[in-house]
Structure 1
Amino acid sequence: MNKRKPIIIDCDPGTDDTIAIMMGLVCDKLDVRAITTVSGNQTIEKVSNNALRLVSFLGKDVKVARGSIRPMQREIFLADFVHGESGIGNTVLPETDKKFYEKNAVDTIYEEAMACNGELEIVAIGPLTNIATLLLRYPDVKEKIKRLVIMGGAINGGNDTPSAEFNIYADPEAARIVFEAGLNLVMVGLDATHQAKLYEDEIREIEQYGEKGKIAAEIFDFVKPFYVNCGFDGIIMHDPCALSYVIDESIVKTKKYHVDIETQGEITRGKTVVDIYSVSGKEANVEVAVEVDRDKFAKLVKESIKKYN
């Protein structure tokens, strides 16, 4: 049997974060060393409690560490208009006696990076505040991170402003630090995640997969009106798309480009500037997701949730 891949999921649960965490914790290819939280879809208090309750509800013994309360420079910006007041829609997870890990998110990531000695992969599916803080606080950590896979950015238009995707827009300064750090970086942005959708019949199938399937379907149903209003013919699963790449790289096709983060633009702040024609002459620094095998992705989501049944 192949050795399980050590990962940390840095997240802001979050409806689609919840599904990604469910997928990660049940996958026999992954060794989830910790769940770390960051302010994003909701406040740090709400997303941290969501993560803690979710891990307990799923019956997994994984540490949960609270992270950054606010972005590095800008004001706090939330996505409650998508994820609801709680962060996970109408879903109510059972209360838990489980405690947060004694260390904060940044120190936890560093601890695991050192322990894994160059094998740790980080899946960052929220704003990049924790990761940027990690790089500033512990410069030596760069050599210990095998790969950083983020859900964020876009080659084309944004979903929070016409030019910027939410996770990058929520903390552009952090994103710039991360993108300029020289890490082995994979950007799973909107161009890919908008292909990672589930259809109504698939949601109803998942709903039949016991208690965990009902929770997943409840989350899908909550976000459905938002995506219908945006003109999509299915439910878009941004964060599970990034997680699926870590599980099975054949699901997501990437191309390497140079990517910069715009932090000053009046109407482009938070944009991932992807040099698709190499006009800047700068060396490509990011593997950018460009295509998703939708059927293979949906199959992985369904199989993952079904494992809990």
Structure 2
Amino acid sequence: MTHRILLDCDPGLDDALAILLAVGDPALELVGITTVGGNVSLANTTRNALQLREYLGIDEVPVAAGAAEPLVRAPETAAHVHGAEGLGDLVLPAARLAASEAHAVEVIIETLRAEPGAIHLVATGPLTTIALALRKEPRIAEWAASFTIMGGSFTRGNASPAAEFNIYVDPEAAAEVFAAGWTVTMVGLDLTLQALVTPEVEARMLTLGPIGGELVVPLATYYRNRSGDAFQGQAVHDVCAVAYLARPELFVSRPARVEVETRGEFTSGMTVVDFSSDRPNAIVPVELDVEGFWDYAHEAWGRVAPTRRHG
């Protein structure tokens, strides 16, 4: 069975690797990419998505820009992790094709409206654009075949001691999204930090040929290489969210009730996860088959041949 994906993202090192996974897995069909400000500015995330689209030879996949800033808060980025422009040291050729003239909110609504129950929505950045789409058309929560995010945690955060970055950046949007009446698959830090690029994983990536040396390794090691010996491996957070859709058997998951803290002085953006609730609104993966995950990612990435070279 082929899963058709509409990916809302903020490329971003691991977002780029997630796009690559979706392109390389024949069981996945990427039907659209929408962008949001997050890891870096919206201008940069959109440019990165456009350049990746042409580098990977998927010119037919529409790219649409979404929300530049959170619903009510000042924007924050993670450029210290992803590099000033979002893709670390990677320099791709300028895109020849432009983004869609339509706003990402319209693209999300119309894509899901056209084929109710057929398109899986995956979000790997802040949830601002998803929240805006729900405000305009709440029925997207019914039309999406499933909704998976990379975000949150049930223990600790990375943007603060309590909050994961994607939720921390726009907790008001996240709160609206979790309350929308659908089941959110929350692929959070507790899961994604099991998918670390160790030196052994990096060595295997280098066997992928041009795509390995030119794209995968630079993206998968940029932050680790700048963090010194104290950092044992760079996590490919967003790859896990796309992988969950294709290979859920690689994950041990539990139902839970997830609420988003928006007012706490020290806990704003925290995802409060209750695994004992009788009113679950989420599925939370908690354990990863690490060996199986890397086998799957390696196989999918290995199917992709770059169509444009870069220097």
Give me the TM-score of the superposition, normalised by structure 2.
Answer: 0.94
Distance in 1 separating the partners of 2:273 and 2:78: 24
Distance in 2 separating the partners of 1:101 and 1:210: 32
Q: Which residue of 2 aligns with 1:31?
A: 29
Q: Are the counterparts in 1 of residues 254 and 275 from structure 2 also a CA contact under 8 Å?
A: no
Does 1 or 2 have the higher relative contact order (CA < 8 Å, sep 6+)? 2
Q: Does 1:50 align with 2:48?
A: yes
Q: Are the counterparts in 2 of residues 41 and 78 from structure 1 also a CA contact under 8 Å?
A: yes
Residue correspondences, number: 303
Give me the TM-score of the superposition, normalised by structure 1.
Answer: 0.94
Distance in 2 separating the partners of 1:124 and 1:277: 26
Q: Are the counterparts in 2 of residues 46 and 86 from structure 1 also a CA contact under 8 Å?
A: yes
Correspondences of 1:246-261 after superposition (within 5 Å): 246-261=245-260
More displaced 10-residue stretch of structure 1: 80-89 or 202-211:
202-211
Correspondences of 1:39-188 after superposition (within 5 Å): 39-60=37-58, 61-188=60-187
| Distance apart, 1:277 and its partner CA | 4.0
Q: CA RMSD in A?
A: 1.4
Distance in 1 separating the partners of 2:138 and 2:244: 27
More displaced 10-residue stretch of structure 1: 239-248 or 195-204:
195-204
Distance in 1 separating the partners of 2:197 and 2:81: 17
Q: Which residue of 2 aligns with 1:305?
A: 301
Amino acid across the alignment from 2:295: K
| Distance apart, 1:140 and its partner CA | 2.4
| Distance apart, 1:234 and its partner CA | 2.4
Runs (4+) off by over 4 Å = 226-229
Identical columns (%):
38
Distance in 1 separating the partners of 2:228 and 2:171: 28
Q: 1:254 to 1:85 in 2, by over 3 A?
A: same
Q: Which residue of 2 aligns with 1:216?
A: 216
Amino acid across the alignment from 1:178: V
More displaced 10-residue stretch of structure 1: 208-217 or 253-262:
208-217
Distance in 1 separating the partners of 2:19 and 2:76: 23
Which 5+ residue runs of structure 2 have no aligned equivalent?
306-311
Which 5+ residue runs of structure 1 have no aligned equivalent?
none
1:51-78 C-alpha deviation (Å, 9 max, x unpaired) = 0000100001211111101000110010
Q: Are the counterparts in 1 of residues 258 and 282 from structure 2 also a CA contact under 8 Å?
A: yes
More displaced 10-residue stretch of structure 1: 196-205 or 257-266:
196-205
Q: Are the counterparts in 2 of residues 9 and 32 from structure 1 also a CA contact under 8 Å?
A: yes
More displaced 10-residue stretch of structure 1: 216-225 or 169-178:
216-225
Distance in 2 separating the partners of 1:228 and 1:134: 41
